[in-house]
Amino acid sequence: MTTKIPIEISARHIHLCREDLDKLFGSGYELKIKKDLSQEGEFASEETVTLIGPKNTIEKLRVVGPIREKTQVELSYSDCFFVGIDVPLRLSGDVAGSAGAKIAGPVGEIELKEGVIIAKRHLHLNPKEADELNLKNNDLVKIKVIGERGLVFENIVVRVKPNFKKSAHIDTDEANAAGLGKVCGKGELILE
Ligand SMILES: [Zn+2]
């Protein structure tokens, strides 16, 4: 039996903490929801910022809400080459000692000491879905993508939380390598 997993593609984006949102957009600023994302409560906001690197600048870097404890920028390897910064592959939230960058908003700028990561590919599951698949938090799984550029994504980290919904998240480089669509695709879960 094969289990189909929806695959969603995370384009580059930034999560902001309260303090950085204030500095970039003004004191007490509230993000405006542009589009709800698949994971409950998460949304793409109307707001964008500029990331200024030593080699190049990325304009219109989308802010994903709601605000978080810590500011975090998620880029692809291609973005990092373009910008000219060396960025580690990390799980979301694991930002200690990661890369820094200069970020500009309409009101001000911040110099991030750390927080820039390339996000590890991961699979969101709620506890019921995890039970059904006999998986637990931090397990590693593989997902096979069928098609002309079909491939197997290894080392997908399982993330289990009550408000999660079954969906694998990969970045734009990974999606392009597999010839997936712009925002989503499907894969088959390989359990060993
Ligand atoms: Zn995710």
- Beta strands 89-90 and 109-119 are parallel
Name which of 92, 75, 93 is nearest 84 in CA terms: 75
CA distance 124 to 94: 17
Tell me, in angstroms, the distance from the centre of ligand 1 to residue 26's CA: 28
Task: For residue 139, give both structure tokens.
Answer: 């397990």
Report the percent of the chain where pLDDT is more than 90.
92
**Distance in Å, CA 117 to ligand 1 centroid:** 13
Mean pLDDT of the chain, nearest integer: 96
Task: Taking residues 110-116, report their average pLDDT.
Answer: 97
* Ligand 1 center from residue 168 Cα (angstroms): 7
Where along the chain do its domains lie?
3-7+121-190, 11-119
Q: Please state, in angstroms and rounded to a whole number, the distance separating the CA atoms of residues 108 and 71.
A: 15
Q: Enter the tokens of residue 93.
A: 């939230």
Q: How far is the CA of 72 from the centre of ligand 1 (A)?
A: 13
Question: CATH number of the domain at 3-7+121-190, please?
Answer: 2.40.40.20
Distance 158 CA to ligand 1 centre (A): 10
How close is the Cα of 104 to the center of ligand 1, in Å? Answer: 25
CB atoms within 10 A of CB 148: 6
CB neighbour class for 163 (10 Å; exposed up to 12, middle 13-18, buried from 19): exposed
Average the pLDDT over 166-170 and give the result.
97
Q: Which of 42, 14, 11, 7 is nearest to 164 (CA)?
A: 42
Ligand 1 centroid vs 169 CA: distance in angstroms?
5
Name every residue whose Cβ is closer than 8 Å to that of residue 157 and which is 6 or more positions away in sequence: 91, 120, 121, 122, 123, 138, 139, 140
**Rounded to two decimals, what is the model's pTM?**
0.94
